[in-house]
Each structure stands twice: as structure tokens, then as C-alpha cells.
Structure 1
Amino acid sequence: MKRVCIIPCGAKKIWDVDPEAGSQPANHVYLSPLHQRTKSYAQTFFSDWMILSAKHGFLKADDIIHENYDVAFGTPRAKQITQEELSQQFHQKNLFAYDELVVLGGKKYRKVIDPLLQPHQKANYPLAPYKGIGYMLQALHQAVESKVELPPHI
């Protein structure tokens, strides 16, 4: 079974720390604790992973981000990526080639990902049972330390 891990971006970005950082690969942009932990998890258990940004959509680690932004899923903003644009990216970036998408985000990601799934695909939300970011951070840390993936949650 071919799997990909989708991780959240995060509000804290490199330009918040270094305003002169200039354009950066997505892999270096996001600094929030949840992003760092989900990235560590993705790199531990998956050969393929992507970042999901409410502004830029699906990002590979080497995709370039040119400037700071403040856009989140579930908040009404004009600059948020549209479902149609996400659907185009889903095909352009070959996400339909995966049987399972393991999404390390909360409830708002389900509304974004589920409509994109093709009939042969399923999405797994292993962080869904955790109430609060502290518990998510702890679960991700334990999984990486013990080298045991979080149980699936459909």
C-alpha cells in the first residue's frame, strides 16, 4: 500500500524570527512546535510527506515560499486557497497515486482533505482522538521515540 503523510504548516514562520530571511524552501519556513513534531513523525515513518498550507496548498519540502503570511483553514479569509485549486494540486502533485493519506491535522483538515479523495483512497487522522495540542505533541514525541506509529483513526 502506497502512503503519504500530510502535515500542517504552522503560524510561526522563519520571517517572524529573521525578517531578512528572504525566499525559503517550505522545509525551512515553519517553526511552530506542532509543525516540527509532525515533520519529525513524517520523516520517521514515511518516505513521502507534504505540508498543507491554507495559502499555498500542498507543498513539497523543496517548494519555495517567498514571504510571510497569516492564513489558516477554517477562518474566513480572501487569501485562502480554494477547494478547486487544491483539487488541481492534488492531481498535479500525484497525490491520487497514494492509497492512504495520513493527515496529522485536526478536524478542519478533514473538511479540506476528504472531498479530494478518489474512490480507491482513504484518509487516516491519527491525531483526531487527542483533545488539545499538548496531547498531540506528546503523542507525536512518544511515537518517534518508540518508533511505533500512532494507531489509525478514520
Structure 2
Amino acid sequence: MVPLCIIPCGKKKIWDLDPEAGAVYAKDAYQGTLHHKCRKYAEANGCDWTILSARHGFLLPYDIVPENYDTGFHFPKDQIIADAALTQQWQDKNLYATDTLVLLTGKKHEKVLERVLSQPEQYEWQKPLQGCRGIGDILQRLDLLSSTNT
């Protein structure tokens, strides 16, 4: 089975560069360095990937992001996607069809996944960014891990 990378969305989006962009594919919406390096890692390592967004939930590359937003999992519960909706997306998008989850996200995202997956123990959890000390360290590690597999 192909591993599934869970990658963060990020604050910087296409609408920051082009306010008139309109609705776009998820693969084109997020413009931050961390997001791009996480995608590069996933692709270099032969993984499928999904974006985990506090507003829209699990986004596959060709899912539509309708407009700009600024929402994080640290926001109040009434402003973020509900756990039940995330669980439904996990099933509907067949994200469960893997045996390995590669977390390229922070601890908040990990806790969300642990809540919404019906059997989190059925997966091997890989955390290649574990132990990083800040964004500089994270970006450097992603570069190193992406270049060793290309």
C-alpha cells in the first residue's frame, strides 16, 4: 500500500498573490514554503497526500477551495470543521486505504487525527519531522529528506 502523507495547509494562499483568483484546486491554493516542501517530500517519497485544513477538512489535490480563509485548529470549535465531518471525509475519500500515515504536521493535527480515525492503531505512524526545533529546522529536514529520495 502507498503511504499517505498528511500535510498542513498554511496561512499563505493564492489569494494573497492574486485576490481575484476565485475558486481553485487545493493543490494550487496553498502557497507557503512549508506546504510546498511537504508536498515535495510526499512526491519524492512516492506517497499519496492530503491537506488537513481546519476549515475544509481533508483536501485531495483536485478538491476545490472556494475562497480565502484564515482558520486553524486552535480556533474555537464552532469555527472549525467538526470531528464527525472529518471522520466522514476520511471514509468518503478512501483515505483509510493505507497502512502508513506520514505526519508532516504539528501536534495539533496529530491530536485531531487520533480523535477522528476510528482505529488509529491500525496504521503505522511515521513522523519524519519529530524532534525539529522550529520552522528553520523543519524546512531544512524536509529539504534533506526530499533530496535523498529523488
RMSD across aligned positions (CA): 1.5
In the alignment, which residue of structure 1 is the partner of 2:69?
A: 69
Q: Secondary structure at the match of 2:113?
A: helix
- Pick closer, same or farther for the CA change 1:107–1:47 going to 2, 3 Å: closer
The runs of 5 or more residues in structure 1 that have no matched partner are 149-154
In the alignment, which residue of structure 1 is the partner of 2:48?
A: 48
Aligned counterparts, 1:33-44, within 5 A: 33-44=33-44
Paired with 2:42 and 2:88, the residues of 1 have a C-alpha distance of 24
The runs of 5 or more residues in structure 2 that have no matched partner are none
Identity %: 46
Deviation at 1:16, TM superposition (A): 0.9
Moved more, 1-10 or 23-32: 1-10
The aligned amino acid for 2:114 is D
| Count of residues in correspondence between the two structures | 148
In the alignment, which residue of structure 1 is the partner of 2:126?
A: 124
Paired with 1:66 and 1:80, the residues of 2 have a C-alpha distance of 16
Spell out, residue by residue over 1:113-133, the C-alpha distance to the aligned partner (whole angstroms, 9 max, x if none).
Answer: 122152422322221211111
Runs of at least 4 residues of structure 1 off by over 4 A? none
What TM-score, normalized by structure 2, do the two folds share? 0.92
Contact 2:2–2:46 (8 Å) recurs in 1: no
Q: Secondary structure at the match of 2:112?
A: helix
Paired with 1:77 and 1:14, the residues of 2 have a C-alpha distance of 26
What TM-score, normalized by structure 1, do the two folds share? 0.89
Contact 1:107–1:128 (8 Å) recurs in 2: no
